[in-house]
Chain A
Amino acid sequence: LAKTTQPISMDSYEGQEVNITCSHNNIATNDYITWYQQFPSQGPRFIIQGYKTKVTNEVASLFIPADRKSSTLSLPRVSLSDTAVYYCLVGDMIYNQGGKLIFGQGTELSVKP
């Protein structure tokens, strides 16, 4: 399973766009990139998943360069409620490793008023 590296923490202010970058130099051909959000004392919540280029949904965008060795989660106009830990995971969700998700250290995002 590819190892991921993220900043330990980030600070932002309400209304700003936040970009969290994750490095995954050893990503394999079958690997997808998935981001989860976790609030204290809650289970992780799926945010977005992508394989290449750009993916956008109602809450975030995911940018993946051509070499796929990194990815950037973009949160537009964050609010105080976006304060959470964000995890980047890389793996083959289906075929290999039985769907195991190995969590890295995550990025603790703090949004201030």
Chain B
Amino acid sequence: GAVVSQHPSRVICKSGTSVKIECRSLDFQATTMFWYRQFPKQSLMLMATSNEGSKATYEQGVEKDKFLINHASLTLSTLTVTSAHPEDSSFYICSARSNPRDRMKQETQYFGPGTRLLVL
């Protein structure tokens, strides 16, 4: 299947700093990418939908000024956690959607390996 990478895989930062997480689709173009957050023992929570060349759409309750999303190319989306605080510590996962018109393929959305963020 298609490959999605995330960088870094793990990051530790001080409270008040900003952290950027990259999500790349390695062997396909993704017009749409999604960002999720997952706390321990909980399910994935969709944060936002990122479309190439346009502003991201945020889910209710997600602060767009705190979680900046940029989708500058068809293979790269970035999530920046601005002024991070300990409560932002979580596992951040991105996914990338392949051509939605290709119905010959069952799997149309591919997930990255996740980024573990720890804010001290």
Query: A residues near B, CB below 8 A?
Result: 36, 41-46, 48-49, 87, 93-95, 98-106
A103 contact from B44, B49, B106, B110, Cβ within 8 A = B44
Q: Determine if B93 and A98 form an interchain contact, defined as CB atoms under 8 angstroms apart.
A: no
10 new A-B contacts, CB < 8 A, other than A42-B113, A94-B100, are A36-B111, A41-B91, A43-B95, A43-B111, A95-B100, A98-B32, A99-B32, A99-B109, A100-B34, A100-B46
| Count of B interface residues, CB-CB < 8 Å | 29
Bound Cα distance from A113 to B108, whole angstroms: 35
- B contact face: mostly helix, strand, loop, or mixed: strand
Bound Cα distance from A41 to B6, whole angstroms: 13
- A contact face: mostly helix, strand, loop, or mixed: loop
A103 to chain B minimum Cβ distance, whole angstroms, is: 4
